Amino acid sequence: MIELRTPAEIEQMRPAGRFVASVLEATAAAAGVGVNLLALDRLARDLIRSAGAESCYIDYHPSFGASPFGKVICTSVNDAVLHGLPHDYALRDGDVLSLDFAASVDGWVSDSAITIVVGTPRDEDLRLIDTTTHALDAGVAAAQPGARIGDISAAIAGVALADGYTINTDFGGHGVGRTMHGDPHVPNNGRPGRGLPLRPGLVIAIEPWFLETTDRVVTDPDGWTLRSADGSRGAHMEHTVAITESGPIVLTARMP
């Protein structure tokens, strides 16, 4: 069911957006060569506890997950791009790390993701991250009242295809509100002018993710982590966005 939020409710969602952004900033800053993924999960867990927030991940068990997630942040490294289950792995120089985090504050949820390079970057990784960032920006810019879901999807795809990347539509954006995942689905490829009209009060997560040389993913034995089918690296960016009369508001905007 698609729910529209009042202007007052969108204001009530802002603290969750600020908190999610702050946790991503903190964990990205802490992610250095030699830092263990489990340490990043502990940091996020401590920040949740200190803020009196609630994790959206730890008990999360959708149909595609092998078991409850059990951690509070997704840490996807190199060829892993989505749903990376934190495990005993120390980050290495040149690793590409995607961090995906959602939490509830006072009953309202926000969801966001960022991809960084740990240590020395490779040009091809920076190019992939740059394209994914620009695709997110394009998707947000297209999220105007009176437009349609397909306008967001087409804007994202236009950036990716122009840079030579292919697109997987199995996983994409989604509605956000009292729960982490709701209607509507926001695919990363589509036709402009098609799909659900974007009405003021709609709150969605827009989340482009691309792989360097494929659009196929496989699931790790952990039952969660999604990796590229050919071992190429991935990038993932996401913001929670509210559609308003005056345009989109990025609730999870990070400090510049």
Binding site as annotated, residues for substrate: 83, 181
Q: Cα dist. 108→10, 20, 36, 228 in Å?
A: 9, 11, 30, 32
Q: Residue 185 corresponds to which amino acid?
A: H
**Residue found under tokens 């071992």:** 231
Amino acid at 26: A
Known binding-site residue numbers: 83, 100, 111, 174, 181, 207, 238
Cα separation of 65 and 22, whole Å? 27
Element (H, E) at 14: helix 7-30
Give the chain's count of helices (H) and strands (E): 4, 14
Binding site feature residues for a divalent metal cation: 100, 111, 174, 207, 238
Judge contact between 196 and 2, C-beta under 8 A: yes
Torsion sign (Cα): 203, 103, 78, 95: positive
Phi/psi at 9 (nearest 5 deg)?
-70, -35
Tokens standing for residue 125: 């990784």
Helix axes 7-30, 37-51, angle to 10 degrees: 140
